[in-house]
Amino acid sequence: MASLQMATILNSLTMTRPLPPNSSDSTRSPRNLSTKAFAVPRRKAMALIVSTPFFSGIALRDTAFAQPSVGLREYIDSFDGYSFKYPLNWIQVRGAGADIFFRDPYVLDENISVELSSPSSSNYKSVEDLGPPEEAGKKVLKQYLTEFMSTRIGVRRESSVLATSSRVADDGRMYYQVEVNIKSYANNNELAVMPGDRVARLEWDRRYLSVLGVENNQLYELRLQTPENVFVEEEYDLRQVMDSFRVNKISA
């Protein structure tokens, strides 16, 4: 009986729901779209498996299950020379100041963007022109703090570089990855005369993930912003997005 239940559940994990013949997604190129491969959410499926008699005698307190992957769609900018993947349900926001900008429609503090250095005023040969990853991390943090500079009275920012690393991707290019945390505090009554009436409270606590690459003599930066509490839940998916970033040679 347990074997039959296991087979049924595992089969449900590998089943996909076919798209209707007239579905708009059925005409999309598979190169630009990667969707969920599971019709049954893995969290629910694992719960079903664990609840079967087959697992009743197994201790699972030390077992870690991978976080379920969300569907990812690939964005390719052949004109500027870069590509990356982003969550399927995120929406594009125009006029945000970046070369491209997507955000979560529900978690408004969660977004992704790409910044490029000016092709006329930059002459990067490699991401190593920024120095080692640790030096690049300091520059990335400084840039974030400059952008978030506030003229409000009583605003205070706490920041730190959490991690820096370098990697050579499957395209043979080197990329730097930088993770920083920034917290913003503000007084609840910044105009109060007595110091005791000015109590600082946490406004936001965010994780910023940057991937840096160089091509076409330009510096490319993929930026991911997410609240710290959301990052804990979505780390697996967000790191997939980071790892998907590629810079490409622009055809003359």
Please give the single-letter amino acid code of residue 84.
Answer: F
pLDDT at 196: 61
8-state DSSP, 32: S
Question: Taking the mean position of all CA atoms in its chain, how far away is CA 178?
Answer: 12
> Domains in the chain and their CATH numbers?
83-247 (3.40.1000.10)
What residue spans of 90-218 are helical by DSSP H? 133-147
Rounded CA gap, 199 and 183, in Å?
A: 16
**What sign for the dihedral angle of Cα 89, 95, 96, 101?**
positive
Please give the single-letter amino acid code of residue 183.
Answer: K
- Candidates 137, 141, 114, 112; CA nearest to 127 is 137
Query: The whole model's pTM is what?
Result: 0.70
Residue-level pLDDT, tens digit, the chain, 252 residues: 544 444 444 444 444 444 444 444 433 343 343 333 333 333 334 433 434 444 333 333 333 333 445 699 999 999 999 999 999 999 999 988 899 999 999 999 999 999 999 988 889 999 999 999 999 999 999 999 999 988 877 788 999 999 999 999 999 999 999 999 999 998 876 555 555 666 789 999 999 999 999 999 999 999 999 999 999 999 999 999 999 999 999 986
124: helix, strand or coil: coil
Rounded CA gap, 190 and 203, in Å?
A: 14
Rounded CA gap, 146 and 177, in Å?
A: 20
Angle at the Cα of 101 from the Cα atoms of 146 and 174, rounded to 5 degrees: 75
